[in-house]
Structure 1
C-alpha cells in the first residue's frame, strides 16, 4: 500500500507541474524587465496582484561583477501589494534585479531579470532604448518545488494531512460508544502514536519548505519567517498545540474536542482560504471541509483499532461509521462546492487548470468512495463479514489516494497564472512577433517586431488593439482599446536576410480588466497592403 501511494505521488508529480503556482503574481515592474534606460532609476518597484506577507521579502540589484549595488533594505507599500528598493546613483552598465516575496497563503514567489543603464551593451533580448523593455522576468512561483525537492514536498504535505485528519478524527471517534469500549491502554496507545505521527509529519513539512520560503535570505531571516508571516505563525502554533497535546489529550472529552477544533482552525486560517474574499466565508467553508474529512479519516483509523482489538464489534462499528461517513460526504460536497465557487472566478477554469484537473480527480475518487460505501452498507445488512472487511480495505485505499491528491492540490493556485505572451506570425511579405509582459490586468509592456521585405521600405503604419469579449450573459461589448506603439531604434541583430526589421514598443495600463481578450496587430506596408494578425488569450 505504501508503495502504491509513492507511485501515485510520482504520477501526480509527472502529470502536474514542475512549478506549483502561488497566488501572488507579479503584475508590474518599474523599470520594465530587460529595459535599456537612458538615465539610472532612483528605485526598483514591483507590484503584485494581492497583499504579501510582511516578514520575509527582498529586492537585490547586482552589477556585472555580481556585487550588490546597495545594502538598503526593500520596503513594502502600505497596501502590501508592492515592494520597492531605493537605489544610489548607478553607473552605466548591465544590472540584474532579483526579488523574493511570500504570498498571502504562504507560498514563495521570486525571480530575476536584467536591466541596462546608459550606453552599455543592452541586455540579451532587448532592442530598445530610453525605457523600453522586453518581456521575460524569469518569474518563478515555486522556488524549490521542482524535481526531487518537489516530490518530497508533495509527500510531506500528504503525510501531514493524513496525520492531522487522522488524529483529529480519532479524537472524535474514541469518545463514541465503540471507542469507549476499547481497552484504556489500547485507546491511549493509538492516541499517542497518532500524536507522534502528526508531530513528525509537521516537522517534515517545516524542514522541506523552510528553505524555499527563506529564499536567499538564509537562516538570518528564520525569526522573521516564523513570527512575521502567516505560514510561520501557523507552524509555531501547530507545533505548540502538538506538544501541548501530549499533556492534555485524554483528560476530558471537551478538551479533546477543543484541541482538535483548534488544530483544524489553524490550518483553515493559513491556506488558500485566507486569500479569497470574503475571507470569513472561505475560512468557514475550509474549516467545515477539514472537519468533515477528519470524521471520515478518523473513522477509518478507529475502525482499524476496533478490528485489531475488538473484532467481534467491527461489523457493528462499521454500521455506525457508514452513517457518519454519509453525513461527512454531504458536508464535504457542500463545503467543496462553496470553496470552488469562492476560489475560481469562472467555473470553466476547472477543465483547463491544473488545480481544476486535480479537483476533478479528487471528485472522481470521492464518487468511488460513495459507491464503496453503498456496497459496504449492503454487505453489513446481509451480514457478509468477509466482504465487509475487504470493502473497508478498499475504502482505506481510496482515503490514501485522496490524501495524496490533496498533498499536491493544496500547493496549487486555484486560478491559473498569467504568463507572458510571445506570439510569432509568418506572412508572405511581412513577419511579426508580438510580446506582452506580464500579460496581467494592469500595466503591461508591449513589443512588436516587424520584418518587411527590403524592397518595400518601412511600414506605413503598425497598430495594436485589444478587444475584450463580453462575459456570459452580458450584451454590452467594450470598444477596442488602442495600444499606442512607438517606433524604436533597433539594437538587435536582424537574423532574416532580405528583410528589414522594425521594433515598436509601449508600456501602460492597456489591458485593464480580467477576462477573455483578442489582441490584434495591423501592419500596412508601403503599397497600402495590410496584414492583420489576431491572438486570443485570457487574463486572470
Structure 2
C-alpha cells in the first residue's frame, strides 16, 4: 500500500510539473521583443507618432546584437546549462541503463547522485536568472517599464524565463525521488524528468525561434542532446571505474560487461549525434559557402571535426582494443595493467573531446547564423484588447515572405482591413507601399492566448520585394468589428 501511495504521489507531482509548462510560452521563445511589448506607447489602439518611432529606433539600436561582454556571458551561461543537463542525463543513463552490476559503480552512489543534483540545480538556478537579467538589461531604453517589471514579464512569458525556474524545480523533484528505497523502480520516472530538463535547452535556443518546422528543430536538438548525454555519461562511468584500488573479480566482470554494453550503444548514439547535428546545421545555413564565411559555419565545422575524431576513436576501440582487452580482464599481471592503461588513455581523450564539443555546442546555441538565413524581423506586441505578431522572412530566391498573426477577443469578429505597409526611412515623404495579404487560418487557438481567436494572414506574393535594403518603417493596422483601430509602427533593417 505504501508503495502504491508513493507511486501515485510521484506521478501526481510529475503531472503537475508537466501541466505547469506554459502553453503560450512557445510563441514568445527566443524572439526579438520590441519596445512595443514593454512600453506604454505601443499598446493597441494608440496611434504611433514620431516619438514612438524615435523610441523604437533607439531601442533597436540598443538591442542590436548586444555588446561583446553580453555575448561572452551568454556563451558561458549557455555552456554551463548544457553541461549541467548533460551531466545529470549522463549520470542517470550510466547508473540505471548502462551499468549491469547489482551494486552502484564507483562514483555513482546515491550520495553522489544527491550531490550532483544539488550542484546542478543550484547552477541552473544561478545561470537561469542571470540569463533573464541579461535580457532585462538588453531591453532597457526610453519609455520602458522598470527593471523589476521587465524581469517579471520575461520570467512569466518567455521560455528563457520559464527555464530559469523550471530547471531547479526539476532538480528538486529528482532530489526528492532519491529518498525512496527502491531506486530501480523509479528509473523511468527519473528518465522522463531528465528528458524534460534537457528539452529546455532547445526551447531556449535557436530551435524554438524557427518559424517553419520549430517542432522538428526542437525534437532534433533534444535527440542530439540525449545521445550526447548518454555518450558522455558512459565515458565518465567507464573512466571512474578504473579508480577502484583493488577491484575484485566481480568488479572486473561488471566493468567488462559495461564496456561491452556501452560499445554497442555507441553504434547507435554516435551516428545519431552526427545525423541530428548535420540536419540542424543544414537547416540553419543558407548556402554551403557559409560554412567558411560565417562564425556559425566555422563552429559547425569545428564541432563536426571533433565528432569525426570521436568516431575514429570509437571504431578503433571497438575493432582493435576491446577484442584484445576483454580476454585480459579475466587474468592478472602486467599485461592486463598495460592494456587497461592504454584503454583508459583513449577514454580520457574522448572525455576531453566531449568537453570541447559541448563548449562548441554552447557557442552554437548563442551564435546567430549568417544574416542571409536569419529572420530579420519577428515582432510581437501584446495588449489588453489585441495581440499582433509579424514575421518577415527572406526567401532563397530573393524577396521576403510576410506572415501576420492577429488575436482578438473571441466575442468579436475577424479583423477589418488588416494591412501591412512599408516605407523607406531614407524617404520620409514617400507614400507607404501596401503589401497584399490573404487569410490562411482563423478560429480559436488552443495553444495561444485564452479568450482570444487567432487570424493568420500571409502575403499573396511569397517573394515580396521591398525595393531595396536598409531601414524601413513597418506599419501594421487592423480594426475590430466594433470599429476600434489597432495600429503599430516599428523601424527595421532589411538585408
TM-score of the aligned structures, taking structure 1 as reference length? 0.55
Distance 1:368 1:243, change over 3 A: same
For the residues of structure 2 that align with 1:403 and 1:54, how far apart are their CA atoms?
Answer: 24
Aligned-pair CA distance for 1:392: 0.6
For 1:21-60, list aligned pairs within 5 A. Answer: 57-59=34-36
Matching residue of 1:411: 366
Matching residue of 1:28: none
Does structure 1 residue 219 correspond to structure 2 residue 148?
yes
Distance 1:260 1:72, change over 3 A: closer
Partner of residue 259 from structure 1, selected from 186, 193, 198:
193
Q: Looking at secondary structure, tell me which structure has more helix per residue.
A: 2
Distance 1:303 1:85, change over 3 A: farther
Aligned-pair CA distance for 1:89: 8.7
Partner of residue 307 from structure 1, selected from 236, 242, 245:
242
For the residues of structure 2 that align with 1:389 and 1:288, how far apart are their CA atoms?
Answer: 28
Matching residue of 1:112: 58
Matching residue of 1:287: 222
For the residues of structure 2 that align with 1:183 and 1:442, how far apart are their CA atoms?
Answer: 52
State how many pairs are aligned. Answer: 349
For the residues of structure 1 that align with 2:149 and 2:201, how far apart are their CA atoms?
Answer: 26
Partner of residue 87 from structure 2, selected from 149, 152, 166:
166
Distance 1:375 1:190, change over 3 A: farther
| Unaligned residue ranges in structure 2 (runs of 5+) | 1-26, 141-145, 326-338, 377-390, 399-422, 436-460, 470-493
| 3-state SS of paired residue (2:96) | coil
For 1:326-345, list aligned pairs within 5 A. Answer: 326-345=267-286
Aligned-pair CA distance for 1:323: 2.3
Aligned-pair CA distance for 1:299: 1.2
Do the aligned partners of 1:441 and 1:512 also contact (CA within 8 Å) in 2?
no
Matching residue of 1:273: 207
Matching residue of 2:485: none
Do the aligned partners of 1:226 and 1:233 also contact (CA within 8 Å) in 2?
yes
Aligned-pair CA distance for 1:158: 1.4
Matching residue of 2:54: 97
For 1:43-442, list aligned pairs within 5 A. Answer: 57-59=34-36, 72-75=40-43, 86-87=47-48, 97-99=54-56, 112=58, 138=61, 140-143=63-66, 145-147=67-69, 149-176=70-97, 178=99, 180-183=101-104, 186-214=108-136, 215-216=139-140, 217-249=146-178, 250=183, 252-276=186-210, 277-309=212-244, 312=252, 313-377=254-318, 378-383=320-325, 384-416=339-371
For the residues of structure 1 that align with 2:134 and 2:46, how far apart are their CA atoms?
Answer: 22
For the residues of structure 1 that align with 2:425 and 2:315, how far apart are their CA atoms?
Answer: 67
For the residues of structure 2 that align with 1:328 and 1:360, how far apart are their CA atoms?
Answer: 20
Do the aligned partners of 1:153 and 1:205 also contact (CA within 8 Å) in 2?
no
Q: Deviations over 1:315-360 (max 9, x none)?
A: 5533332221231111112222332333334444333222111011
Aligned-pair CA distance for 1:413: 2.1
Aligned-pair CA distance for 1:362: 0.2
Matching residue of 2:483: none
Do the aligned partners of 1:273 and 1:282 also contact (CA within 8 Å) in 2?
yes
Q: Deviations over 1:247-289 (max 9, x none)?
A: 0244612222221222223333333222322223222222211
Distance 1:320 1:487, change over 3 A: closer
Q: Deviations over 1:457-515 (max 9, x none)?
A: xxxxxxxxxxx9968xxxxxxxxxxxx999999xxxxxxxxxxxxxx999769999499
Do the aligned partners of 1:353 and 1:416 also contact (CA within 8 Å) in 2?
no
For the residues of structure 1 that align with 2:293 and 2:35, how far apart are their CA atoms?
Answer: 33
| Unaligned residue ranges in structure 1 (runs of 5+) | 1-49, 62-70, 77-83, 100-110, 114-136, 421-439, 444-467, 472-483, 490-503, 520-538
| 3-state SS of paired residue (1:356) | helix
| 3-state SS of paired residue (2:58) | strand
Aligned-pair CA distance for 1:74: 2.2
Higher deviation after alignment, 343-352 or 277-286: 343-352
Do the aligned partners of 1:155 and 1:407 also contact (CA within 8 Å) in 2?
yes
Q: RMSD of the TM alignment (CA)?
A: 4.4
Q: Looking at secondary structure, tell me which structure has more strand per residue.
A: 1
For the residues of structure 2 that align with 1:54 and 1:153, how far apart are their CA atoms?
Answer: 16
Asked which structure has the greater CA Rg, the reply is 1
For the residues of structure 1 that align with 2:166 and 2:424, how far apart are their CA atoms?
Answer: 53
Do the aligned partners of 1:154 and 1:408 also contact (CA within 8 Å) in 2?
yes
Structure ranking higher on relative contact order (CA contacts 8 Å, 6+ apart):
2
Q: Deviations over 1:167-194 (max 9, x none)?
A: 1122122113635444489521332232
